């Protein structure tokens, strides 16, 4: 498995608002046997996640998702009441608190089994962790060029920037006025016609509830910049060509239908191509009967359009039931590319430089420019 | 101008139509796609533009069925800039203003007068207009109780003399400016207001809005208070409080059939689906009766009518105009049924809903496909005489298909214009300074209340571009003559 398989999902007509274009993804039939629910957490999105006995991190966690493969109607089992708050409970009084108290109970693990056939996971955390933890351990061989910190702590601390959907200009409005299609199970978010995120769920009812949660998700810095500086995108209204050959209403109707098909095709090849045609490295996180939760990393090839990290749930045929992606910026792709190459060369600078087709000095310069100077000895 | 259809004339006619559309739909409130501030800014520009360039038309639009918000705005602007008008223009404007003020609800007029005071417009003419309007009020005592602050402001602004001994004006003067001085009032409402401070029985004698405050002060139980206050409520207050006054299964008998059509549609849409289907006969009957009343002499005169009605998510309006576009569509549905020849009406909801009573704002707007459905011949195999589209003009599944369908259909399939297409739009588009259009060749008119549909279709004729500006001005003059004539007669 190395590709995203979006069979069963067709692209609907896009809705444009300012610089944001939202393309609905429609399913003929919902995915059998899997539902997603939303859990809203207290504390304005501040939360702690406990990874191991002494590892924990502090993060922005507005909500979690609960995958439910028990097949019970609406996820409400007789013995296990659904553990979720009503939408909106996190918004307290209007005044801004000076300090946000951390919730007393940390989340245990990013993906945690719940009573019954349920799994709670923190959306996008899996994907971002996959990217941040890329060769996190540091040099595997203690070549003399690497600093002592690099050998002792690896890449820690490793930081990347992401932006809240609310701060992406125009996104909140575009989502608010978006008219959800019947049977809609997903959406592709384009900002200045660059694919910013893809979101797919198994069932239309889940989508209706989770649609608004997109504004609380994380978006890459590129998306934020495009939204801030980009101009409104063209609405590209349809044109019925060859009008002189239309002689009755039936032919006019056929011409209109052809426009709809043309758009769906154009979207899959032209707009979403970069997401669907890339081969990814999948990493299994959890298996739930016939469904599997994965996170994936792109190949970090440079100069090949946008690259997306993300997480997905696939069924036994490899078809996507749930998908959430995060677009990396060029700098982030560059960092991933460098780390991949250096690790592939056994952390030996000369071999890595040869693999990149450049000199050792150039590689050192590039690593420093990419923000990895702490890894290298200062004498270099 | 020598050439009747010179370019300047055409532009002027376009501007006039644009302004009329805006004045009918825009209320300066939040819409589905734009904020209240955006709407107000846009409207403010449009008012200034039209007032400066076409002052005559600006005043004449008071004679059309524009909404109260814009009517008050126009009156205010005209009075503020009276020095820009010639004496003759001022005379016409005065007549139009007086006639329009008489037709406006009193709370709007008091607010307008308050705004004039704040803008420091206090010339002899303005004072005379205010005095004339106050003199025509049937019961100033009632106004003094219900719109206390408004009456007080006006009285102060126009130096309303309240001489001793000239009842009831002297008493009202005492009531407004020296409250608590007189031991009792002759006017029953003023006296009820005095007694309501300490006597619960007097509360129910007051107008509902005033009584509500006293009821809260006395801590009266809401149900008891509503029951007692019911006889003094206005028609709309009765409709609004109907749900609160329901005790168990017994619903207070409000005669729904006397309600205006669009208000009634709003009320129907505010009910849950179960209640709507339970009261199906009553609600449908009331809607039909209201539609028949609104249609009046036009009933059955439109021939075969097909309609496309927008119930997409955007028809849910905003928090300030809740479900307004959908209510307009629902009201139009019933009105068109009456306007069409018997059995020759077909209404198509965009979502494909078959039951008009159970519509809800939901889903996308595949307007193009539904227009194609509506253009299909009706039951008797003949093409429709009229196609009416009620929509906010945001066609998004896919965008622009409706315009293309109408363009190709007009050019290729119906060049003889057997079918008249009219698009009525209940939403003002702040960015475009107009209601949003579907296609260049399709007449678009703004709509606020479905009851105005026959009049709007008449205006929309001018927007198609087949009648010249001369006809438009004749139409406007006729409306002005009718409006001021009526105002003088009443």
Which backbone phi and psi does A301 adopt, to 5 degrees?
A: -85, 140
Q: Which of A135-144, A210-219, B209-218 has the lowest mean pLDDT?
A: A135-144
Per DSSP, B433 falls in state: T
d(CA B438, CA B407): 10
Question: Mean per-residue pLDDT for B392-409?
Answer: 90
Inform me whether the pLDDT recorded for A59 exceeds 80.
yes
Alpha-carbon torsion B355, B358, B362, B365, what sign?
positive
What does pLDDT average to over chain A? 86
Q: Which segments within chain A are labelled E, that is strand?
A: 9-11, 15-17, 20-27, 35-40, 46-50, 56-60, 63-68, 107-108, 111-114, 118-121, 163-164, 184-191, 194-200, 218-219, 281-288, 291-297, 307-314, 320-328
What the block records as the tokens of A109 is: 């693990």
Predicted confidence (pLDDT) per residue in A13-54, tens digit: 999 999 999 999 999 999 989 999 888 887 777 888 888 888
Give the distance from CA A204 to its chain's centroid: 19
Predicted confidence (pLDDT) per residue in A253-276, tens digit: 999 898 888 888 888 887 888 888
Distances (CA, A) of B464 to A319, B133, B370, B371, B429: 52, 39, 22, 18, 19
pLDDT confidence of residue B73: 97
pLDDT above 90 covers a percentage of chain A that reads 45
Confidence label for A318 from pLDDT (cuts 50, 70 and 90): confident
Give all domains of chain B, ordered by start, each with its CATH number.
7-246 (no CATH), 262-472 (3.40.50)
pLDDT confidence of residue B490: 40
Q: Which of A49-63, A136-150, A335-349 has the lowest mean pLDDT?
A: A49-63
Confidence label for A95 from pLDDT (cuts 50, 70 and 90): low
Q: Which of A41-45, B225-229, B472-476 has the lowest mean pLDDT?
A: A41-45
Inform me whether the pLDDT recorded for A353 exceeds 70.
yes
- Scan for tokens 């005065």, then name that residue: B94
- A14, A246, A249: best mutation site toward chain B, by most B Cβ within 10 Å? A249
Whole-prediction pTM value?
0.91
Question: Mean per-residue pLDDT for A341-355?
Answer: 92
Predicted confidence (pLDDT) per residue in B335-356, tens digit: 999 999 998 999 999 999 889 9
d(CA B337, CA B307): 10
Question: Mean per-residue pLDDT for B454-468?
Answer: 80
Enumerate the residues of chain B whose CB falls inside 8 A of the CB of residue A259.
398, 401
Confidence label for B2 from pLDDT (cuts 50, 70 and 90): very low
Size of interface A-B (CB pairs under 8 A): 87
pLDDT confidence of residue A80: 41
Q: Which of B119-133, B279-293, B315-329, B374-388 has the lowest mean pLDDT?
A: B374-388
Give A 164-223 residues with CB within 8 A of chain B. 177, 179-182
B404 lies within 8 A of chain A by CB: yes
Distances (CA, A) of A358 to A79, A146, A346, B466: 63, 19, 17, 72
**Alpha-carbon gap: B364 to the closest alpha carbon of chain A (Å):** 5
Provide the ipTM.
Answer: 0.87
B374 lies within 8 A of chain A by CB: no
Binary contact (A260, B403; C-beta < 8 A): no
Binary contact (A179, B396; C-beta < 8 A): yes
From A319, A267, A255, A324, select the one nearest A292 (Cα to Cα): A319
- Three-state SS at B457: helix
Question: Mean per-residue pLDDT for A86-105?
Answer: 56
pLDDT confidence of residue B485: 82
B32 lies within 8 A of chain A by CB: yes
> Which one is predicted more confidently, A78 or A227?
A227
pLDDT confidence of residue A364: 93
How would you classify residue A313: left for phi > 0, otherwise alpha for psi between -120 and 50, otherwise beta? beta
Enumerate the residues of chain B whose CB falls inside 8 A of the CB of residue A12.
364, 397
B369 lies within 8 A of chain A by CB: yes
- A18, A25, A170, A179: best mutation site toward chain B, by most B Cβ within 10 Å? A179
A253 lies within 8 A of chain B by CB: yes
What does pLDDT average to over chain B? 90
| Partner residue opposite A259 with nearest CB, options B313, B376, B401 | B401
| Partner residue opposite A240 with nearest CB, options B314, B396, B408 | B408
B314 lies within 8 A of chain A by CB: yes
Inform me whether the pLDDT recorded for A129 exceeds 80.
yes
Confidence label for A96 from pLDDT (cuts 50, 70 and 90): low
Inform me whether the pLDDT recorded for B487 exceeds 60.
no
d(CA B134, CA A72): 69
Predicted confidence (pLDDT) per residue in B126-182, tens digit: 999 999 999 999 999 999 999 999 999 999 999 988 888 777 889 999 999 998 888
Strand pairing report for A56-60 and A291-297:
unpaired
Predicted confidence (pLDDT) per residue in A244-257, tens digit: 888 888 999 999 89
Among all residues of chain B, which has the CA nearest to that of A208?
B363
- Three-state SS at B162: coil
Enumerate the residues of chain A whose CB falls inside 8 A of the CB of residue B413.
246-249, 252
Question: Mean per-residue pLDDT for B280-300?
Answer: 93
């Amino acid at each position: 498995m190395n590709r995203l398989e979006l069979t069963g999902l067709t692209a609907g007509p896009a809705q444009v608002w300012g610089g944001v274009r939202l393309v609905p993804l429609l399913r003929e039939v919902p995915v059998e046997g899997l539902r997603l629910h939303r859990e809203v957490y207290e504390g304005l999105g501040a939360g702690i996640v406990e990874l191991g006995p002494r590892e924990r991190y502090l993060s922005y966690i507005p909500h979690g998702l609960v995958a439910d493969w028990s097949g019970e109607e609406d996820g409400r089992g007789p013995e296990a009441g659904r553990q979720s708050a009503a939408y909106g409970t996190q918004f307290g009084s209007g005044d801004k608190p000076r300090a946000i108290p951390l919730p007393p109970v940390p989340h245990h693990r990013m993906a945690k089994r719940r009573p019954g056939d349920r799994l709670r996971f923190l959306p996008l955390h899996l994907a971002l962790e996959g990217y941040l933890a890329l060769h996190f351990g540091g040099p595997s061989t203690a070549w003399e060029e690497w600093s002592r910190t690099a050998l002792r702590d690896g890449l820690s601390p490793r930081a990347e920037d992401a932006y809240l959907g609310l701060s992406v200009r125009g996104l909140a409005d575009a989502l608010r006025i978006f008219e959800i299609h019947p049977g809609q199970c997903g959406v592709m978010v384009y900002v200045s016609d660059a694919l910013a995120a893809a979101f797919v769920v198994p069932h239309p009812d889940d989508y209706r509830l989770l649609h608004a949660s997109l504004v609380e998700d994380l978006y890459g810095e590129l998306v934020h910049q495009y939204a801030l500086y980009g101009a409104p995108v063209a609405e590209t209204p349809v044109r019925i060509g060859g009008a002189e050959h239309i002689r009755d209403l039936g032919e006019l109707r056929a011409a209109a239908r052809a426009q709809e098909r043309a758009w769906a095709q154009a979207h899959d090849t032209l707009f979403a191509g970069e997401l669907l045609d890339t081969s990814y490295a999948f990493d299994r996180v959890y298996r739930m009967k016939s469904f599997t939760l994965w996170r994936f990393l792109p190949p970090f090839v440079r100069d090949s359009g946008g690259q997306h990290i993300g997480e997905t749930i696939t069924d036994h045929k490899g078809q996507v039931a749930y998908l959430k992606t995060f677009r990396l910026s060029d700098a982030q792709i560059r960092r991933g590319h460098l780390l991949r190459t250096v690790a592939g060369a056994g952390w030996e600078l000369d071999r890595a430089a040869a693999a990149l087709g450049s000199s050792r000095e150039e590689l050192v310069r590039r690593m420093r420019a990419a923000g990895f100077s702490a890894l290298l000895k200062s004498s270099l | 101008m020598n050439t009747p259809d010179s370019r300047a004339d055409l532009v002027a006619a376009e501007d006039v139509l644009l302004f009329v559309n805006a004045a009918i739909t825009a209320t300066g409130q939040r819409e589905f796609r734009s904020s209240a501030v955006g709407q107000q800014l846009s409207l403010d520009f449009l008012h200034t533009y039209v007032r400066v360039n076409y002052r005559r038309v600006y005043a004449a639009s008071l004679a059309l069925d524009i909404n109260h918000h814009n009517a008050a705005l126009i009156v205010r602007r005209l009075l503020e800039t009276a020095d820009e008008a010639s004496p003759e223009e001022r005379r016409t404007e005065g007549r139009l203003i007086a006639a329009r003020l008489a037709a406006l609800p009193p709370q709007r007029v008091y607010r307008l007068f308050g705004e004039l005071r704040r803008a420091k417009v206090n010339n002899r003419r303005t004072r005379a207009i205010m005095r004339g309007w106050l003199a025509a009020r049937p019961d100033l005592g009632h106004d003094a109780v219900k719109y206390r602050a408004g009456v007080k402001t006006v009285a102060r602004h126009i130096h309303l003399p309240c001489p001793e001994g000239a009842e009831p004006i002297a008493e009202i003067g005492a009531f407004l400016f020296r409250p608590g001085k007189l031991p009792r009032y002759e006017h029953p409402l003023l006296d009820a207001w005095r007694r309501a401070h300490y006597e619960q029985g007097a509360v129910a004698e007051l107008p509902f809005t005033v009584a509500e405050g006293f009821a809260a002060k006395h801590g009266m139980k809401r149900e008891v208070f509503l029951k007692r206050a019911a006889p003094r409520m206005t028609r709309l207050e009765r409709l609004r409080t109907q749900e609160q006054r329901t005790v168990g299964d017994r619903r207070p008998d409000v005669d729904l059939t006397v309600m205006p059509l669009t208000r009634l549609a709003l009320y129907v849409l505010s009910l849950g689906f179960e209640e709507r289907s339970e009261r199906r006969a009553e609600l449908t009957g009331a809607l039909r009766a209201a539609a028949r009343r609104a249609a009046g002499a036009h009933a059955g005169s439109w021939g075969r009518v097909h309609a496309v009605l927008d119930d997409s998510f955007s028809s849910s309006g905003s928090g300030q105009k809740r479900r307004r576009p959908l209510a307009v569509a629902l009201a139009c549905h019933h009105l068109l049924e009456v306007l069409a020849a018997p059995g020759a009406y077909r209404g198509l909801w965009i979502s494909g809903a078959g039951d008009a009573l159970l519509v809800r704002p939901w889903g996308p707007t595949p307007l193009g496909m539904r227009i194609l459905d509506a253009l299909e011949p009706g039951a008797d195999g003949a093409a429709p005489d009229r196609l009416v589209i009620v929509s906010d003009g945001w066609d998004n599944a896919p965008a622009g298909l409706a315009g293309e369908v109408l363009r190709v259909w007009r050019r290729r399939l119906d060049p003889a214009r057997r079918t008249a297409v009219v698009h009525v739009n209940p939403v003002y588009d702040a960015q475009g300074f107009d209601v949003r259009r579907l296609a260049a060749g399709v007449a678009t008119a703004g709509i606020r209340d479905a009851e105005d549909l026959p009049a709007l279709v008449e205006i929309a004729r001018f927007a198609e571009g087949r009648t010249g500006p001369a006809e438009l001005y004749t139409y406007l003059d006729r409306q002005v003559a009718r409006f001021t004539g009526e105002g003088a007669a009443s």
